[in-house]
Amino acid sequence: MQKKAYLLLADGLLIEGKAIGKMGTSGGEICFNTGMTGYQEIYTDPSYFGQIIVNTTAHIGNYGAYDADQESVRPTIAGLVVNEFSAEYSRKSATESLQSYLERHGVVGITGVDTRKLVRYIRSKGAMNAIISSELTPEELAKEIIKVPAMDGLELSTRVTTDEPYLVGDPASPIKVAILDLGIKKSIASNLASRGCYCKVFPARTAFEEMDAWQPDGYFISNGPGDPSAMGYAVETVQKALDSDKPLFGICLGHQLLARASGISTYKMHHGHRGLNHPVKNLITGRGEMTSQNHGFAVDEKEIEKSNEVDVTHVHLNDATIMGIQLKNKRAFSVQYHPEASPGPHDSRYLFDQFITLIREGVRQTVVA
């Protein structure tokens, strides 16, 4: 018989269901992802560190787990909430069930939840802390949830970054890109390597001088978890990278840090954007893009309007939040969404090509000089 589990939200909403994954207790900020597929890629995205994920699609676990689908070495989510959970799977390439996978990696979860109703609740009330348990009573959970730290003001990149620098790509490639790993997804580095970049991935707190000593042709600032306002160390690194006058590309958290390095503030969103179906308009080309997104913070729209250094390049068509920027006097740009799109549509992968073009132009100029 499946064990009972509880989900308690910080505002007091208590939901009863059945335990999945590891038996235990886990807390974090509750948020929802609207993607219809790619659950393993979502769970292993380091940007979700410290968050409990509600999957809006009804059936989870039906195609099992497969190591090649991972975006990092292990799941990074704090917990999982689903409607219907399948311990059986049909995909022949899968190596184990999702239950076995979650249990092996210590992920606590709950099933039997009306996730559509819960998502509407979060959309109304906003993102908040929550706790899942298959071992504590509701009364005990009420005491434990107050111990869960708020996401606002929380620095988390140092919890998920690489311990040591590592290399990706062909050493014989003519283009070298230094990556600041704030919680990078595997597919991002793969997209750069497949376009002819030799990449060195550096830990989050690496001094710019150490990155610069590798003599890269460009800098990439990765995605990651937490509040960008708590990352002064990374803002300083981005500012120094901009001063080097080499091309710079930022994604998600990297986008927010580029804005802060340019004097633009960020703020915590009501419930964030997380899913594979977010419509974005490219203001330069006029074209629309369906995008993969995962963020709970955004760049301040009003401050950008007053800036003499930053232009808006992309906007979200649902709520007009800033989805992309470029600097007027630097070869630097960023987007709030995930162009590597793993999982998700590939509409925005041209951004990697744009970055490579900026680097190649600089390389040619150097050779000519």
Identical topology for domains 4-147 and 157-368: no
Residues involved in catalysis: 252, 338, 340
Q: In what order do the strands lie in the sheet with 332-335?
A: 166-168, 197-202, 175-180, 218-221, 248-251, 332-335, 322-327, 310-316, 266-282, 288-299
Q: How many Å apart are CA 288 and CA 181, to the nearest integer?
A: 29
Q: What percent of the chain has pLDDT over 90?
A: 91
Between residues 137 and 349, which one has the greater pLDDT? 137
Asked whether the beta carbons of 258 and 240 are under 8 A apart, the reply is no
Rounded Cα distance, 293 and 272, in Å: 9
Mean pLDDT value across residues 128-150? 97
Kindly report the CATH number that applies to the domain delimited by 4-147.
Answer: 3.50.30.20
How is domain 157-368 classified at the CATH fold level?
Rossmann fold (3.40.50)
Integer Cα distance of 166 and 200 in angstroms: 6
Minimal CA–CA distance to 299: which of 241, 229, 220?
A: 229
Whether residue 369 has pLDDT greater than 70: no
Examine the pLDDT at 342 and tell me if it is beyond 80. Answer: no
User: What is the three-class DSSP state of 223?
Assistant: coil
pLDDT single digits (tens) 236-291: 999 999 999 999 999 999 999 999 999 999 999 999 999 998 999 999 999 999 99
- Tell me what pLDDT residue 363 has: 61
Q: Which of 293-307, 322-336, 350-364 has the lowest mean pLDDT?
A: 350-364
Q: Give the separation between CA 254 and CA 238, rounded to whole angstroms.
A: 9
Domains of the chain by residue range:
4-147, 157-368
